Structure 1
Amino acid sequence: MFGVPDGMRVVAMEHPARAPRVRLVMADRTPELVLARALLEATRDLDLRDTFDRMLHDHLSR
């Protein structure tokens, strides 16, 4: 998906102090913004934690 640039490496962080979070804040209005609604619909069922965990495992096992 993203890959690791040449000259860099992936290092697992055991028990990081803070868990990363991504949020989307939308204005409470009608009609909703088309772009914000499309983003919500496109990402609602994604399991990004699982995807990133698999990517990390793949890179660390090399």
Structure 2
Amino acid sequence: MFDVPDGMRVVPLDGPAHGPRVGLVTGPDDPPSVLAGALLTVAREADVRQALDELLRTYLDGHGC
């Protein structure tokens, strides 16, 4: 689903993780953003978190560092 672009590499972040390292920030829109809501729904349905975690493990296990 995702890949690391040519000329770039994956680097582990040092320090404790207290939450997601990738996120979506939206403003206090009233009414809430339909586009942001749709993006969150699709990301959850596609299980983007698992796909990113698997990609990270793949590159940190000797391929990207």
TM norm structure 1: 0.48
> Whose Rg is larger?
1
Structure with the largest fraction of helix: 2
